[in-house]
């Protein structure tokens, strides 16, 4: 399975870095959201510290729902999903490659957005950059696992463009709450790591990954 996953991850990265469609769109979209938030909400420094975590994760979540949409839709253009299903020994490899690529793209977008966010909301992120990346990784992984699975489901449905955000946003509420909780702690005047939130995120990731491993094959069927 490892060699299949590596080959498919290579394909995902190559096609994206060749077209840059997803990354460009998502970066622009998230930038617009963050700037709009800063226009409509003019916080004091204390308020920023209190609300920045929520705003940041809301922006990331909206961006993720945009980024994850084409994940399986793109495989339908030339029915390449059928070719993949006929070629891989374990269909879980298809999911692992896609969610790894999605996590990487999301993380990249988030890391690019942090300095902009820091400036617009006057919240110093660099002293806690390392810890923030841990939260971003666990949160983005959760978003990608659930989003990749739902993308596979919604790609075969009618109203597919509308279905993913409708399914994804409610399902990711626990990730949003836990990630926000941990991020607010890190952006505090005296930063601290909220380990309970980290534990919750790690558990969410493991549970959803296991469910995907067990039931993923059925999501790919016509």
Partner 1 sequence: MTPVDSPAGIRFENIEKRYGGLYALRRVSLEIAAGECVVLAGRNGSGKTTLLRIAAGLVRPSSGSVTFLDSGKGPMQGAPKVGFVGHATMVYDELTAEENLVLFARLLGIAEPADRAGILLAEVGLDDRRSSLVRTFSRGMRQRMAIARALLNQPEVLLLDEPATGLDPQGVSWLAETLRRMRDAGHTIVMSLHGKSEISSLATRAVRLEAGSVMADTRTGGSLSSILTFVGA
Binding interface with partner 1 (CB under 8 A): 3-4, 7-8, 10-11, 14-15, 18-19, 77-80, 82-89, 221-222
In the complex, the smallest distance separating the C-beta of residue 98 from partner 1, rounded to whole angstroms, is 14
Complex with partner 1: residue 83 or 119, whichever CB lies closer = 83
Nearest alpha carbon to residue 55 among 118, 130, 105:
118
Q: Which residues of 94-110 are buried (b: 16+ CB within 10 A; e: fewer)?
A: bbbbbbbbbbbbbbebb
Q: What angle do CA 122, 123, 127 make, to 5 degrees?
A: 135
The minimum distance between CB 14 and partner 1, in angstroms, equals: 7
Tell which residue, 113, 109, 89, has the closest CA to residue 101: 109
Q: Based on CB atoms, which residue is closest to partner 1, 94 or 187?
A: 94
- Tell me which residue has tokens 């601290």: 192
Q: Of the two residues 50 and 85, which places its CB atom closer to partner 1 in the complex?
A: 85
Q: Report CA-CA distances (Å) from 160 to 35, 41, 76, 108, 220.
A: 29, 33, 12, 26, 15
Nearer to partner 1, 18 or 189 (CB): 18
Cβ at position 115, least distance to partner 1 in Å: 31
Min CB(58)–partner 1 separation in Å? 32
Q: How far is the CB of 221 from partner 1 (least distance, A)?
A: 6
Of 42 and 222, nearer to partner 1 (C-beta) is 222
């Amino acid at each position: 399975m490892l060699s299949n996953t590596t080959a498919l991850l290579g394909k995902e990265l190559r096609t994206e870095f060749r077209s840059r469609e997803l990354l460009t769109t998502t970066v622009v979209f998230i930038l617009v959201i963050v700037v709009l938030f800063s226009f409509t909400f003019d916080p004091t420094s204390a308020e920023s510290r209190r609300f920045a975590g929520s705003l940041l994760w809301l922006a990331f979540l909206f961006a993720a729902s945009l980024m994850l949409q084409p994940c399986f839709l793109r495989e339908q253009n030339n029915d390449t999903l059928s070719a993949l299903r006929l070629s891989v020994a374990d269909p879980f490899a298809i999911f692992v490659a896609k969610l790894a690529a999605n996590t990487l793209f999301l993380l990249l977008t988030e890391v690019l957005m942090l300095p902009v966010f820091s400036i617009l909301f006057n919240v110093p992120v660099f002293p806690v950059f390392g810890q923030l990346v841990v939260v971003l990784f666990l949160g983005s992984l959760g978003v990608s696992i659930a989003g990749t699975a739902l993308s596979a489901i919604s790609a075969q449905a009618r109203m597919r463009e509308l279905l993913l955000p409708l399914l994804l946003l409610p399902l990711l509420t626990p990730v949003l709450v836990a990630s926000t909780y941990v991020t607010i702690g890190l952006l505090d005047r005296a930063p601290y790591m909220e380990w309970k939130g980290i534990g919750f995120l790690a558990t969410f990731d493991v549970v959803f990954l296991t469910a995907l491993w067990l039931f993923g094959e059925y999501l790919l069927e016509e």
